[in-house]
Structures are given as structure tokens and as C-alpha cells.
Amino acid sequence: MLLDEPLIFERGSDGRPGWEVPGDTGSAEFGLPPELRREDDLAGMPEVGELEVLRHFVRMSQWNLSAATTLYPLGSCTMKYNPVVNEDLARLPGFAALHPLVPDALAQGALELIEVLEQALAAVCGLDAVSLQPAAGAQGELTGMLVVRAHHVDRGSPRTKVLIPASAHGTNPASSALCGYDVAEVPVNARGLLDADAVAAIMDESVAALMVTNPNTLGLFEEEMEAVARAVHAKGGLVYMDGANMNALMGVAKPGDMGVDVMQFNLHKTFSTPHGGGGPGAGPVAVREILRAYLPTPRLVRDGSGLRWSDDMPKSVGRVRSFHGNFGILVRALGYIERLGGPGLAEATRLAILNANYLRARLEGTYHLPFTSPSMHECVFSDRNLAEHGVHTLDVAKRLLDHGFYAPTIYFPLVVKGALMIEPTETESKATLDEFVGAMLSIAEEARTDPNRVREAPHDTRLSRLDETRAARRPVLRWRPSVTPEQP
């Protein structure tokens, strides 16, 4: 049973003192001139007791499904188990209470952690240098594309275009645009893959880079990746790889070996840091040696006295966020990497591929598989086989919630109509996958026998389908104090 809970602003009573710290003299006196003082004494802020606050958020937490609650097969998001030990590690006072501006000599443990993580990511991807500063995958993309731009500027011109496959994640074109580039779409072939010949045909010296996701968003390995990279390099372009799907590649293939020049990692995907309902993540950027000089400042350097930060990077793209990146996330990611070790990371990828292909084998036929090339860590189905019953992808997603599973990524990638993108990850057992398959098969059967039941799902969640149109037409984006007195 799930209890209701109002907004925190609707709880509490006037005059609750709030949480206290020592040192209050009770004096209201302070020397700010009246025109600089807060105008409203924080009117509208809640006044709620401690137990009420705790209960408020505990109740709300129970309205979520999470990766700790159930299988969360959200394609392209790699919702694997987030090891709880890493929460303890990030909370060690030597990390959590460490101010980012202490002398480097007093942060040698943190700096070593950063150095070891940079090296570990380089070892996984086969590139030469890593910056851990970007706060998220999209910021990593922006950083990487700024590096690309700086490289070309150094050679005379930034160039004007970036090639991006139609199947790409929306952040790729958005990040390219932020770097001043026009976006040109690259077609994918009937197998859902890039053709080296097609890339070569549109490649010219106005193209700064090709942005490619490998495995792509269909979960397919780009088999012509090396030839594609050669075609790009032949015209002086660079190859950017979106590393969102790195969970499919550890120990299987290194981006550096495939001709990739620059990529970002998503530590919250491949390296298990909690997604936090949308963040914080971390989006480290890895580059080939020729691009090292353009990475964000400051850079970590090691000299006779140990590790220190250096701003002496005249060609750097500059800073993308304050301080040194999402350090607390870096601690968790290294905790994961060192717990698994090199062989364990490779094994994680192998089992992620096994799990995805097992789901594919069990669901294929019942669900339409638009691209039959071999799958890596995820597989993309469509709703074509259900359409005759008037049941669509959204309905399948909502009905899955009734079965106690989160939904796959839906309607993405855009190249598949009614896409259902399923990524189970390696941390799910065969038994859990079998339960999920059972749910998917029963939904397909129900679509035939009782389609309305599916179309009206979810039935067993605390709220039924929410009216997104109303939310967008008449935006209510915050609580406001009521302006009219309540009617008696």
C-alpha cells in the first residue's frame, strides 16, 4: 500500500523553529543596509518538523521503481546494479569533507585516485589521455567536440560540419551545434549499420568529425568501423565515439584500435555509479595523443614532489565546470573498477551481451525485430506485430509496470517506428530475465485477447496514466502560496 503525501509546502505550521546549529546569539542585528536585505523573509518556505520531513521523503521514495527495486531494462542507460559499498567509499570523510582548494600536498590520496582512474579508463578504451572533468555524458560530448574544434583551428580552420547517423542520440547534434557546427545526417544501411562507402562519399574537407555510437543505438556493432574511420581520416576529419554503449565493448574491442580519436565515457552507465533519478553522472573524455594538448584545464601532472594540478596548457579548450569534476562519482566508479579488475570488467561485458541475446532469442517472433544483425548488449524490437490489435509501444511499456518491471526505452532510436529498446545488463540473473520474458509474452497474448486491458494500463500503480498534454498546455511548474482565502 502506498500512502499519499502532499507537497512539503502544504505541510507544517507557522512558527516551527527549524533545524538548529550552535552559535546562534539570537541577535537579529546585522549590518546590511535595508535596500540589500531579503525582501520577503523567505515567506513560502516550509516550517516542518524532522519526523514529518523524513516521512515525507520516505513515502515519496516508495512511489518510485528503481534499479534496486526491479529490472530496469532502459535501453542505452545501462541500469546495472549500483554496488552499495561504493556509497560508503564516497562518504569517507577524507573524500567527502575534502575542500577542492586545499594545497595539492594535502590531497594526494584524491589526486592518486584521479590518476589511477584516468589510467584505468585509458586501458579500457585504448586511447592515450583522459580528462575526468566533464560532469555528464552530454558535457563530455561537448568537451570532446570542443577538442575536435581546437584541433582543426590549430590547423587553420575549425571546419563547418559534423556527420551524425540518423540513429544517434539527440545530444550528439545538440553538442555539435553548441560547438558551432552544422549537422549532416549519415544514412544507415538495411542492416542498420554504417557503410564505409557511404561515409566516404559524403566525406570532404569541410567535415570536422564523424560522431558515431558503437555499438549503435540499435545495439549493433559497427562492423565497418575501421574502414569508416579511414574514410574520415583520409579527408583530415576526426572520429568521435559516443561511449554511452561502452558496456558492450570492454574486453571485446577498444575504440582506440578501431580508429576512434576522441570519446566520452558515461561512468553512471558502464561503471555503475547510481543514476540518482537523473544525475549526478560523470562524462570523462579520452583522446588520442595528438589531441592531449586540448583537454580541459587544469590537468593532473606528476613531478618530483608528487601529483599536482597544472593550468599550464595554452592550447586547452578551457574549463567546462568548476573545480575537478564530479569527484564523488569518480570515487564510486574507481571502486567498481577495482572490485572487478581487468578480467572482471571483460566478464561483465560478456555477460551483458549474453543477457541481451538471451532476451532477444526468447522474444523474437512474438515481438518484431526490425534489424536482425547480431546484437551486443541491447536489442531493439518494434510494436509491428501488435499494431493489428491497436496496441502500441507505449501500451506495452505501461503494462510492464503492472508486472512490476520498469519499461524499456521507447520510441528511440527514431529510425525504428515504435521502438522498444531493451538493455538488461549483466547483473540480472537468468531467473529475473525469465520473469521479464514471461511478462512480455503475456502482454503480447493479452494484446490479442484483451487489448483494452493493455491500452488502459497501468492498472496497479499508485496513479494511472498522466495527462502530459494538460501539463504542457497549461504549465504549472511550482507551488505557489494561495492568494485567495479558503472558502468556509
Partner 1 sequence: MRIPDELRYTKEHEWLRIEGTDGMIGITDFAQDALGDVVFVELPAVGTVLRAGQTFGVVESNKTVSDLFAPVDGKVTAVNEGLATQPEVVNADPYGAGWMIRLAITGDVTSADLLDAAAYTAHVDSEQAK
Partner 2 sequence: MSGYSPHTPTDVAAMLEAIGVGSIDDLVKHVPAHLRASAGIDLPAGLTEPELRARFAALAARNTGADGRAVFLGAGAYPHFSPGVVNQILLRSEFATAYTPYQPEVSQGTLQAIFEFQTFAALLLGLEVANASMYDGASATAEAVLMARRLLPDRRVVLLSRALHPHYREVVATYLRGLGDVEVHEVPFGDDGRIDLAALRNQLGTDTLCVVLGYPNVFGVIEDVPTAAAAIHDAGALCITATCEPLALALVRSPGSAGADIAVAEGQSLGLPVSYGGPGVGLFATHDRFLRSMPGRIVGETVDGDGRRGFVLTLATREQHIRRERATSNICTNQGLCALAVTVYLSMLGRHGLRRLARVNYQSAHATAARLDAAGLTLPFKAPFFNEFVVRSDASSRWEQLAMQEGIVAGFPLGRWYPELGDALLVCVTETHTASQIDQLVRTLQPAAVRSAGGR
Q: Which of residues 444-473 bind partner 2 (CB under 8 A)?
A: 456, 458, 461-468, 470-472
Q: Name the one range near partner 2 by CB under 8 A: 198-206, 272-280, 284-292, 442-450.
A: 272-280
Q: Please return the burial class of 460, using the count of CB atoms within 10 Å of its CB with bins 0-12, 13-18 and 19+.
A: exposed
Contacts with partner 1 in 386-415 (CB under 8 A)?
A: 411
Cβ closest to partner 2, residue 68 vs residue 290: 68
Q: How far is CA 459 from CA 161, 370, 404, 443, 454, in A?
A: 48, 30, 11, 13, 9
What is the maximum alpha-carbon separation in the chain? 78
Residue 388 beta carbon to partner 2: minimum distance, rounded to whole angstroms? 25
Distance CA 352, CA 303 (A): 40
Cβ closest to partner 1, residue 37 vs residue 474: 474
Contacts with partner 1 in 346-365 (CB under 8 A)?
A: none
Which does residue 55 touch among partner 2, partner 1, none (CB within 5 to 8 A, set by kind)? none
Query: Contacting partner 2 (CB under 8 A), which of 156, 304, 314, 343?
Result: 343
Cβ closest to partner 1, residue 9 vs residue 411: 411
Residue 200 beta carbon to partner 2: minimum distance, rounded to whole angstroms? 19
Query: Contacting partner 1 (CB under 8 A), which of 14, 35, 468, 486?
Result: 468
Query: Contacting partner 1 (CB under 8 A), which of 473, 478, 481, 485?
Result: 473
Query: Contacting partner 2 (CB under 8 A), which of 135, 212, 267, 443?
Result: 135
E strand or H helix at 165, and its extent? strand 161-165
Q: Are 11 and 483 in contact (CB under 8 A)?
A: no
Q: How far is CA 236 from CA 23, 128, 181, 203, 205, in A?
A: 64, 20, 16, 10, 7
Distance CA 3, CA 131 (A): 45
Regarding 477 and contact with partner 1 (CB under 8 A), the answer is no
Cβ closest to partner 2, residue 388 vs residue 456: 456
Cβ closest to partner 1, residue 358 vs residue 411: 411
Size of the site for partner 2 (CB under 8 A): 208
Residue 398 beta carbon to partner 1: minimum distance, rounded to whole angstroms? 15
- The number of C-alpha atoms within 13 Å of 192 and in the hemisphere containing its C-beta is 25
Residue 463 beta carbon to partner 1: minimum distance, rounded to whole angstroms? 18
Cβ closest to partner 2, residue 448 vs residue 474: 474
Bridge partners, residue 357, by sequence: none
Cβ closest to partner 1, residue 227 vs residue 394: 394
- For residue 379, give the nearest of 345, 346, 354 by alpha carbon: 354
Size of the site for partner 1 (CB under 8 A): 5
Q: How far is CA 4 from CA 1, 10, 41, 60, 398, in A?
A: 10, 13, 30, 8, 21
Give the orientation angle of helix 430-449 with respect to helix 327-363, to 10 degrees.
Answer: 50
Cβ closest to partner 2, residue 79 vs residue 232: 79
Residue 304 beta carbon to partner 1: minimum distance, rounded to whole angstroms? 57
Distance CA 294, CA 318 (A): 8
Cβ closest to partner 2, residue 350 vs residue 368: 350
Which does residue 53 touch among partner 2, partner 1, none (CB within 5 to 8 A, set by kind)? partner 2
Regarding 94 and contact with partner 2 (CB under 8 A), the answer is yes
Query: Contacting partner 2 (CB under 8 A), which of 3, 45, 234, 290?
Result: 45
Q: Name the one range near partner 2 by CB under 8 A: 59-67, 230-238, 382-390, 441-449.
A: 59-67
Query: Contacting partner 2 (CB under 8 A), which of 152, 254, 315, 453?
Result: 254
Distance CA 406, CA 397 (A): 8
Which does residue 145 touch among partner 1, partner 2, none (CB within 5 to 8 A, set by kind)? partner 2
Say how far residue 140 (Cα) sits from the centre of its chain.
11
Query: E strands, 318-464, where?
Result: 379-382, 409-410, 419-422
Regarding 472 and contact with partner 1 (CB under 8 A), the answer is yes
- For residue 243, give the nearest of 315, 141, 312 by alpha carbon: 141
- Within 10 angstroms of residue 146's Cβ, the number of other Cβ atoms is 22
Cβ closest to partner 2, residue 57 vs residue 442: 57
Distance CA 381, CA 367 (A): 6
Handedness of CA 131, 136, 137, 138 (dihedral sign): negative
Regarding 469 and contact with partner 1 (CB under 8 A), the answer is yes
Distance CA 79, CA 64 (A): 15
Binding footprint of partner 1 on the chain (CB under 8 A): 411, 468-469, 472-473
